[in-house]
Amino acid sequence: MRRKILIVGAGKSTSYLLDYLAQRTEVENLHLTICDLKPESLPTKIKEHPACSTVKLDIFNTTDRSKVIQESDIVVSMLPARFHIEVARDCIRYGKHLVTASYITDELMELDQPAKDKGLVLMNEIGLDPGIDHMSAMQVIDKIRDKGGRIILFESFTGGLVAPQSDTNLWNYKFTWNPRNVVLAGQGGVAKFIQEGTYKYIPYHKLFRRTEFLEVEGFGKFEVYPNRDSLKYRKVYGLEDALTLYRGTMRRVGFSKAWNMFVQLGMTDDSYTIENSEGMSYREFANLFLPYSPTDSVELKMRHYLKIDQDDIMWEKLTELNIFDNQKKFTIKKATPAQMLQRILEDSWTLGSKDQDMIVMYHKFGYELDGNKAQIDSNMVVLGEDRTFTAMAKTVGLPVAMATLLILNGKITSPGVQLPIKREVYEPILKELKSVGINFKEYHMPYTGYNPNTTMS
């Protein structure tokens, strides 16, 4: 009898995940069932694989969802994060392990004790960020602690970007993951972190003008802005005594200042709908956020509102997106501003057939050992192959696949709602990731402390 892995959701991040598991069906005695709303869009080699079955599934169809979960040995949910809870509850009900790449929600955390009672592993945050960031950080932190050291500074940044050799745009950016998450990044609360013992709070409307710079050898200069809540990782990583704890997102220099134009205009707002959005032109959308004038053009009003000149690179970045086009129309009924902005950006920021993406991750560890202070800088760069086998899909999908097999084979056993911060999880996964070219370069140096090149408006 083959062991059954159920994969729910087969979007952009699953190409490597599906290939990894499909290649091991014989040696591991596996059968894969892949459920999606559009299973016909799966690669032919997966649809025709003798140990793979595809099923059309609406995740909200309780009967169909329950049936496929009951028939499995372990479930991998690659659905949007907000849908995991339905799958997780069924996993508890029917006694199945679960693996996701998404952040643990309060709803999911409520299943911790029921999972422990049944001896089930509900592994989460086992993708890229969250995922590889947790595992690589804890590996270094544990090594320092094993020697008797104390962490006094931890900074961690990740970016999904376009590879330098790809044909890019003025923004040096294209979508390599869920576009909606990019448009809504930073919303839902203030950014919170601690630097040199001082708590810092940055509201959303200031977030993209509080950037810092860093260099990655061989790949140049990047800027970073803080994630929403770095402080919750103090307890997770055991860094309650650290003077600096700062997690953020990486972009190429200049992106954040340009993105801030959309924030100031209100185009990233997802809290209300525009009644007549269907049939509206891109130009009419841009005009919604500008003062009325019987004589001034939309372009002139935009430049005045944003206080930018016609020869400013910020203006070129706007016009590159065809945001003033009167022929392009929206087809979405009662769309939010954020949904309409996303539609505009998808026209320009979708990966081309020959485009390659790039993942960059950077950690900085400051520590005390034997009365001396020292520092470790660690970075990882992964390049994608094409728009299907992306670096994003590789770094998200492979850790998920590896964790799934480790749980199925009884190598990861700690029950409950889990993060990948224990040695039984990160040691074997990081070792295998290194074998496929996902590895970190470490640089040991004297402690420099928190010394940013910061730009603020």
Under a CB-based contact definition with an 8 Å cutoff, are residues 267 and 329 in contact?
no
**Residue 22: C-alpha distances to residues 57, 344, 407 (Å):** 20, 37, 17
The residue ranges of DSSP E strands in 68-149, in sequence order, are 74-77, 97-100, 121-123
Domain that holds residue 58: 3-123
Is 183 within the bounds of a domain? Answer: yes
Q: Please tell me the distance from the alpha carbon of residue 365 to that of residue 139, in angstroms, as a whole number.
A: 12
Q: Please tell me whether residues 81 and 170 are part of one structural domain.
A: no
Is 341 within the bounds of a domain? Answer: no
Asked whether the predicted pLDDT for residue 39 surpasses 90, the reply is: no
Q: Which of 247, 232, 239, 230 is nearest to 109 (CA)?
A: 232
For residue 88, give the CATH number of its domain. Answer: 3.40.50.720
Asked whether the predicted pLDDT for residue 12 surpasses 90, the reply is: no
Is 200 within the bounds of a domain? Answer: yes
Q: Please tell me the distance from the alpha carbon of residue 418 to that of residue 371, in angstroms, as a whole number.
A: 35
Region 8-16: what's the mean pLDDT?
A: 88
Q: Please tell me whether residues 185 and 87 are part of one structural domain.
A: no
Under a CB-based contact definition with an 8 Å cutoff, are residues 127 and 359 in contact?
no
Q: Please tell me whether residues 105 and 150 are part of one structural domain.
A: no
For residue 249, give the CATH number of its domain. Answer: 3.30.360.10
pLDDT of res. 453: 52
> Of 123, 147, 182, which residue is a domain's last?
123
> Of 99, 123, 147, which residue is a domain's last?
123
Q: Please tell me whether residues 383 and 239 are part of one structural domain.
A: yes
Under a CB-based contact definition with an 8 Å cutoff, are residues 191 and 202 in contact?
yes
Q: Please tell me whether residues 104 and 39 are part of one structural domain.
A: yes
pLDDT band of residue 452 (cuts 50, 70, 90) is low
Region 425-430: what's the mean pLDDT?
A: 98
Reduce the secondary structure of 196-254 to three states and give it as a string: CCEEEEECHHHHCCEEEEEEECCCEEEEEEECCECCCHHHHHCCCCCCEEEEEEEEECC
Region 406-423: what's the mean pLDDT?
A: 96
Is 346 within the bounds of a domain? Answer: no
pLDDT of res. 404: 98
Is 223 within the bounds of a domain? Answer: yes
Give the global pTM.
0.91
Is 190 within the bounds of a domain? Answer: yes
Asked whether the predicted pLDDT for residue 117 surpasses 70, the reply is: yes
Q: Please tell me whether residues 164 and 226 are part of one structural domain.
A: yes
The residue ranges of DSSP E strands in 41-86, in sequence order, are 52-56, 74-77
Residue whose structure tokens are 């004790």: 113
Q: Please tell me whether residues 72 and 209 are part of one structural domain.
A: no
Asked whether the predicted pLDDT for residue 30 surpasses 70, the reply is: yes
The neighbour count for residue 428, using CB atoms within 10 Å, is 16
Under a CB-based contact definition with an 8 Å cutoff, are residues 322 and 282 in contact?
yes
- Tens digits of residue pLDDT in 317-372: 999 999 999 999 999 999 999 999 999 999 999 998 889 999 999 999 999 999 99
Asked whether the predicted pLDDT for residue 248 surpasses 70, the reply is: yes
Region 44-65: what's the mean pLDDT?
A: 92
Q: Please tell me whether residues 144 and 25 are part of one structural domain.
A: no
Asked whether the predicted pLDDT for residue 41 surpasses 50, the reply is: yes
pLDDT band of residue 457 (cuts 50, 70, 90) is very low
Q: Please tell me whether residues 249 and 383 are part of one structural domain.
A: yes
Region 47-52: what's the mean pLDDT?
A: 93
Residue whose structure tokens are 């996964």: 429
Mean pLDDT over all residues of the chain? Answer: 93
pLDDT of res. 85: 94
Is 157 within the bounds of a domain? Answer: yes
Region 164-190: what's the mean pLDDT?
A: 89
pLDDT band of residue 40 (cuts 50, 70, 90) is confident
pLDDT of res. 176: 86
pLDDT of res. 165: 85
Asked whether the predicted pLDDT for residue 454 surpasses 60, the reply is: no
Q: Please tell me whether residues 247 and 147 are part of one structural domain.
A: yes
pLDDT of res. 265: 97
Q: Please tell me whether residues 112 and 242 are part of one structural domain.
A: no
Q: Please tell me whether residues 213 and 234 are part of one structural domain.
A: yes
Q: Please tell me the distance from the alpha carbon of residue 83 to that of residue 351, in angstroms, as a whole number.
A: 26
Residue type, 53: S
Number of folded domains in the chain? 2
Tokens found for residue 332: 């979405």
pLDDT of res. 345: 97
Contacts of 22 (CB under 8 A, 6+ apart): 32, 45, 46, 49, 51, 52
Tokens found for residue 279: 């049939």
Phi, psi (deg, nearest 5) at residue 105? -95, 165
Is 288 within the bounds of a domain? Answer: no
pLDDT of res. 455: 40
- Tens digits of residue pLDDT in 277-292: 999 999 999 999 999 9
> Of 63, 94, 123, which residue is a domain's last?
123
